[in-house]
Amino acid sequence: MNLRRSLLVAFLLVLLFYGELPPPATATPVQTSLDIPIEVNKKTSHPGSEIQNLYKFIRQIKTGDEDVLAGIYVAGVMAFPVIQQPPGEPAYVSTQPDTLTQFALANDYGSMGILAHNTLAGAIFNELYPLQRIRLIFGDGSVSEYVISSVERFQALSPTSPFSDFMDLSHPG
């Protein structure tokens, strides 16, 4: 079985902000002002372009709903819209390229889970690492910024089942 295909990217990136369960990836909120360039992608021509890219992305995904996660932005890595799972469909994951899905069940535990197929938007999850800044953009255009404190990788033992057990790839066995 191809290890890459057997990874359930539902757990490659789970941002746990509040709750009691240990997160596959944790993020710590930081205070920032978007008027000052915080990070500069070395590929860009000037320091303000990442902030310009962020503002452009916010304008593209803004829906007006302050309570709904509308997108995730990581400078130089991703600027993906986030869709919501349909009610009563906890196994639903978007099949649209460059689109993430918010895992509704995680909300029951005070967490925020992000799902994506590893052959689509989830392939980018491998480019995330500790100390990177993640910006969550809500429908009203507000931004919450977090810093990744750890990244954990898991393999689904039954990759086609939404109820699969998982093996921690950093501590197999």
What gap in Å lies between CA 59 and CA 64, rounded to an integer?
11
Establish if 30 belongs to a structural domain. Answer: yes
Which range marks the domain in which residue 19 is found?
Answer: 3-157
Helix then strand then coil, % of the chain, to nearest 5: 20, 30, 55
Establish if 137 belongs to a structural domain. Answer: yes
Q: What's the confidence (pLDDT) of residue 46?
A: 52
Taking residues 60-79, report their average pLDDT: 94
Whole-number Cα distances in Å, 165 to 8, 28, 152: 11, 27, 15
Which of these, 8, 19, 32, 30, lies nearest to 112 by C-alpha position?
A: 19
Which of these, 61, 53, 55, lies nearest to 80 by C-alpha position?
A: 61
Establish if 61 belongs to a structural domain. Answer: yes
Establish if 169 belongs to a structural domain. Answer: no
Establish if 63 belongs to a structural domain. Answer: yes
What gap in Å lies between CA 104 and CA 88, rounded to an integer?
9
Taking residues 127-133, report their average pLDDT: 93
Establish if 173 belongs to a structural domain. Answer: no
Establish if 165 belongs to a structural domain. Answer: no
The domain tally of the chain equals 1
pLDDT digits (tens, 9 = 90+) for 74-105: 999 999 999 999 999 988 999 999 999 999 99
Does the reported pTM lie above 0.85? no
Establish if 37 belongs to a structural domain. Answer: yes
What gap in Å lies between CA 170 and CA 173, rounded to an integer?
10
